[in-house]
């Protein structure tokens, strides 16, 4: 497999996001094939953590593409994003779901009693399966480190198999998220998470 070069990620987030489907992400001794992602466009996107500008939490999103933005949510879960676009303009792709393709024994220990299909089905489960936490925030996926790393897909998914729709749990101006159909997933993949609409503020 070929590690993704930074130039491939230094593009608009809505171009990068669907291209990450089928790519391989490795961390903590486990590799997942990415089956679902969401795009977040920084200061122009009300759903993004960076909507209100640069903060200590979102600093990584304003940095160079190819770094990992890991955040804590609901007081219990970690979620992982791939930073995209040009330095100084925040944007990132949330890895929402994936299929474990290597490191099954490690993944099973991290997700005891859970069906294999569900090990990385959802962003918090994916991060847990990969062993990602605050220590990985800012990690360079395009550097020389063995892990974490992001590799190009061996076989690029058929564009006809890529679906798009509202992001999970994120409301748009209309309250239902349809103004931002920035979730992308591979059709008929059992590891794709269940859609839940956002709540009206």
User: In terms of CATH, what superfamily is 6-186?
Assistant: Methylpurine-DNA glycosylase (MPG) (3.10.300.10)
Q: What is the pLDDT of residues 22-56, one digit of tens each?
A: 999 999 999 999 999 999 999 999 999 999 999 99
For the chain (201 residues), the mean pLDDT of every run of 10, in chain order, is 92 97 97 98 94 94 98 89 97 98 98 97 97 97 94 81 91 68 95 72 35
Q: How much is the pLDDT for 158?
A: 84
Kindly list the domain boundaries of the chain, sorted by start residue.
Answer: 6-186
Q: How much is the pLDDT for 200?
A: 41
Q: How much is the pLDDT for 159?
A: 83
What pTM value is reported for the model?
Answer: 0.93
Q: How much is the pLDDT for 150?
A: 97
CA angle centred on 125, ends 119 and 126, rounded to 5°: 85
Q: What is the pLDDT of residues 41-50, one digit of tens each?
A: 999 999 999 9
């Amino acid at each position: 497999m070929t590690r993704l070069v930074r130039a491939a990620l230094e593009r608009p987030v809505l171009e990068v996001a669907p291209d990450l489907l089928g790519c391989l992400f490795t961390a903590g001794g486990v590799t997942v094939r990415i089956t679902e992602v969401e795009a977040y466009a920084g200061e122009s996107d009300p759903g993004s953590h960076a909507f209100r500008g640069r903060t200590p939490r979102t600093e990584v999103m304003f940095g160079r593409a190819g770094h990992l933005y890991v955040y804590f949510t609901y007081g219990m879960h970690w979620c992982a994003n791939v930073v995209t676009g040009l330095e100084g303009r925040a944007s990132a792709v949330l890895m929402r779901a994936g299929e474990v393709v290597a490191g099954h024994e490690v993944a099973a220990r991290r997700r005891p009693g859970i069906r294999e299909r569900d090990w990385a089905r959802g962003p918090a489960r994916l991060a847990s399966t990969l062993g990602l936490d605050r220590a990985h925030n800012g990690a360079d996926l395009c550097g020389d480190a063995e892990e974490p790393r992001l590799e190009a897909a061996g076989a690029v998914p058929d564009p006809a198999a890529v679906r798009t729709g509202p992001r999970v749990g994120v409301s748009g101006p209309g309250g239902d998220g349809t103004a931002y159909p920035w979730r992308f997933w591979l059709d008929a993949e059992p590891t794709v998470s269940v859609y839940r609409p956002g709540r009206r503020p």
